[in-house]
Amino acid sequence: MMIEPRTDRRARRPGRLAAAVAAVAGVAGALALAGDPASAKAAPDVQLRVAHFSPDTPPMDVYATGFDGKEQLVLPKLGYGQVSEYMPLTAGVYAFSMRPAGSPATDEAVLRISADLAARTSYTFAAFGRRAELNTDLLTDDLSAPPAGQGRVRLIQAAIDAGPVDVSASGGPPLARGADLGEVGSYMAVPAGDWTITADGESADPVAENLTVEAGTVSSLVVLDGDGTGRLQIIRVTDAAGATAALGAAPAGGVDTGGGALAGDGTPADAAGAGGALLATSAGLLAVLLAVGTTGRLRRRRAA
Amino acid sequence: MTRRGRRAVYRRALPLGIAFVAALAAPAFVAYAVDAGGWPPGPVDTRTAGPVATRVAGPGAAGVPGPRAGSSIRAAERPLPLGVSAAEAQPAPPATLTIPSIGVETQLEHLAVRADGTLAAPVDFARAGWFADGPAPGERGPAVIVGHVDSRDGPAVFYRLAELVPGDPIEVTRSDGTGARFTVTDTVQAAKDAFPTQAVYGPTAGPTLRLITCTGQFDRAARHYLSNLVVFAAPA
């Protein structure tokens, strides 16, 4: 689902530049480019997901409002312990609102949040705590690749009644020490393989979970209140996965995918390169536009 | 103006927009209205809070049981059939690739990594191949499909790959008859000795697709092109 940001200033920028280029070129035909608002939309370069970690809050419908002011339902029925998938967005300011699942969109929102989302960033918008004292946080998710043969893991402490929580991986690094509700650790690289994760709260029974970390994956471990038995619960959410889980590392370098029949003779596989051809084409088009504009001026001069 | 020309102009303009947005530094995030009165009256039954530890499964998923304490955490993973980047748990391997805008319709070989650590190219110049040790198209992560740009005699399956522009559709059908749809988001050219390994094989939040072929100068002694062209695609 695609929603435009609340402010269209940035989205319009390319259009303005394009308009400037067209003006310089002096080509009326290029005005169609600047005058086409659809083509001025920026590509999605932000991703955001929503996490529900409030045990006594009912499932919620999540709405988002972009610059067009239209509120859209983006995530229906997000319940406790659930983390949505990421939704692609364009950088900008958004308003998010939540209503109990199934409520009419005309109902007053229970929670409203505004966020200025920066380009090329992944976010988790998380709600922690009891509904009477609900806290929200916008987490930045670093989905970059772990070193070869490793995965990256971080801890989110979302258990309410446990008190400060220690979390550790057997034979591995401590993931959290005395973490309070809402604390989020940095991602840590851990070797791929099977781990036993232990969570121990000051006022909760410890719990151990088996966790398989695959190479190239980025995961969040979330400590939640259990099912009322006083035991904590650990869940794992895969934030991102690479192509290296099976082999541990990515294939080396590029791929040899050509016999060379069409090399060096002006084909798309020529020295300029196919990708370069895109830039070359753009440069060429500009050159043509400029040439046409110049020609027009020359003709006018001659006519004068 | 052609689609490509238009796109190229925007490509030049985009970095300015990105720089502008980046200048905003850390994102402001403000909760400004918690209306306790908006809650449904009466006690909330936490048993209706839905499955714990599952990914959002959309309406009707409340009956999906959450994992018991002590159970495998992996059991907590469930796909999300929503209009966002829903990843499938274990899709069947891809069988065919179709790219209508450049007339590609090919069966897919299964490709492996060679002894020297590089990814093998398809045996058949007329067919593309899927990196079978990586994610399948539709599975979380980057699925990688490779095809030759030319043979020793003429054009090969990915000869027109460079013509793809953002928004072009790509379809994959799988061995079980299901399909996955993607749209082109970007195209990158890079020298093979500076191959963008992390961008191609690194983690992605959703199921993504990369198409790779050759481009650039041809080393006639080694009989290899010196650069690769990579097309990046996201779920349609």
pLDDT in tens, A96-116: 999 999 999 999 998 888 999
Contact at CB, B1 and A32, closer than 8 angstroms:
yes
Q: Which residue has 């065919």 as its token pair?
A: B96
For position A3, what pLDDT does the model report? 55
Whether the per-residue pLDDT at A21 is higher than 50: the answer is: no
Q: Which residues of B touch A143 (CB under 8 A)?
A: 203-205
pLDDT band, very low/low/confident/very high, at B87 (cuts 50, 70, 90): low
**Count of positions (residues) in chain A:** 304
For position A104, what pLDDT does the model report? 93
Contact at CB, B84 and A18, closer than 8 angstroms:
no
- Which of B54, B102, B124, B229 best tests the A interface by mutation, with the highest count of A CBs <10 A? B229
**Domain range enclosing B192:** 94-235
For position A270, what pLDDT does the model report? 41
pLDDT band, very low/low/confident/very high, at B145 (cuts 50, 70, 90): very high
Contact at CB, A250 and B197, closer than 8 angstroms:
yes
Strand order in the sheet with A207-213: A174-179, A165-169, A193-201, A207-213
Of A33, A74, A244, the CB nearest to B9: A33
DSSP state of A192: S
For position A137, what pLDDT does the model report? 92
Beta carbons within 8 Å of A111's beta carbon, 6+ residues apart: A97, A98, A127, A134, A136, B31, B33, B34, B35
CATH 2.60.40.1120, chain A: domain bounds: 1-141
Whether the per-residue pLDDT at A162 is higher than 60: the answer is: yes
For position B37, what pLDDT does the model report? 28
Min mean pLDDT across A30-34, A170-174, B130-134 is at: A30-34
Cβ burial A221-259 (10 Å sphere, 16+ → b, else e): bbbbbbeeeebbbbbbbbbbbbbbbebebbbebbbbbbb
Is 0.90 topped by the overall pTM? no
Whether the per-residue pLDDT at B83 is higher than 80: the answer is: no
* Better-predicted residue by pLDDT, A236 or A31: A236
For position B60, what pLDDT does the model report? 30
Q: Could you tell me if A261 lies within 8 Å of chain B, comparing CB atoms?
A: yes
In one-letter notation, the amino acid at residue B115 is A
Q: Could you tell me if A216 lies within 8 Å of chain B, comparing CB atoms?
A: yes
Q: Could you tell me if A266 lies within 8 Å of chain B, comparing CB atoms?
A: no
Question: Distance between CA B165 and CA B5 in Å, rounded?
Answer: 10
Q: Which residue has 């013509």 as its token pair?
A: B163
Q: Which residues of A touch B163 (CB under 8 A)?
A: 268
Q: Which residues of B touch A132 (CB under 8 A)?
A: 36
Measured over the CA atoms of residue B208, residue B213, residue B214 and residue B216, the dihedral's sign is: negative
Contact at CB, B55 and A85, closer than 8 angstroms:
yes
CA-only gyration radius of chain A, Å: 26
Q: Could you tell me the two tokens for A163?
A: 């008190």
Measured over the CA atoms of residue A285, residue A290, residue A291 and residue A296, the dihedral's sign is: positive
Identify the burial level of B161 via C-beta atoms within 10 angstroms of its C-beta, where 0-12 means exposed, 13-18 middle and 19 or more buried: buried
Per-state percent for chain A, helix, strand, coil, to nearest 5: 20, 40, 40
> Quick one: three-class SS letters along A61-124?
EEEEECCCCCEEEEEEEECCCCECCCEEECCEEEEEEEEECCCCCCCCCCEEEEEEECCCEEEE
Q: Could you tell me if A217 lies within 8 Å of chain B, comparing CB atoms?
A: yes
Q: A143-243: what CATH class? A: mainly beta
Number of domains in chain B: 1
* CA distances for B111 relative to A101, B146, B207, angstroms: 46, 9, 19
Beta carbons within 8 Å of B186's beta carbon, 6+ residues apart: B166, B231, B232
DSSP state of B162: G
Q: Could you tell me if A252 lies within 8 Å of chain B, comparing CB atoms?
A: yes
Of B13, B30, B31, the CB nearest to A17: B13
The CATH-assigned architecture of domain A1-141 is Sandwich (2.60)
Give domain status of residue B225, yes or no. Answer: yes
Measured over the CA atoms of residue B17, residue B20, residue B22 and residue B26, the dihedral's sign is: negative
Contact at CB, B141 and A114, closer than 8 angstroms:
no
How confident is the model over B79-95, as a mean pLDDT? 62
Dump pLDDT digits (tens) for B197-234. 999 999 999 999 999 999 999 998 989 999 999 999 99
Q: Which residues of A touch B214 (CB under 8 A)?
A: 255-258, 269
Complex ipTM: 0.71
Q: Which residues of A touch B137 (CB under 8 A)?
A: none
- Which of A255, A267, A289, A290 best tests the B interface by mutation, with the highest count of B CBs <10 A? A255
Q: Could you tell me the two tokens for A287?
A: 């050159």
Domain holding B221: CATH number?
Answer: 2.40.260.10
For position B101, what pLDDT does the model report? 97
For position B18, what pLDDT does the model report? 40
**Smallest Cα distance from B58 to chain A, Å:** 6
Categorise residue B77: left if φ over 0, alpha if ψ from -120 to 50, beta otherwise: beta
Closest CA to B183 of A242, A8, A88, A243: A88
Question: A198: nearest CA in chain B?
Answer: B70
pLDDT band, very low/low/confident/very high, at B43 (cuts 50, 70, 90): very low
Dump pLDDT digits (tens) for A195-231. 999 999 888 888 888 889 999 999 999 999 876 677 8
Contact at CB, B203 and A235, closer than 8 angstroms:
no
Of B31, B46, B82, the CB nearest to A85: B82
Q: Which residue has 């939640």 as its token pair?
A: A224
How confident is the model over A153-161, as a mean pLDDT? 93
Backbone angles phi, psi at B194, to 5 degrees: -135, 40
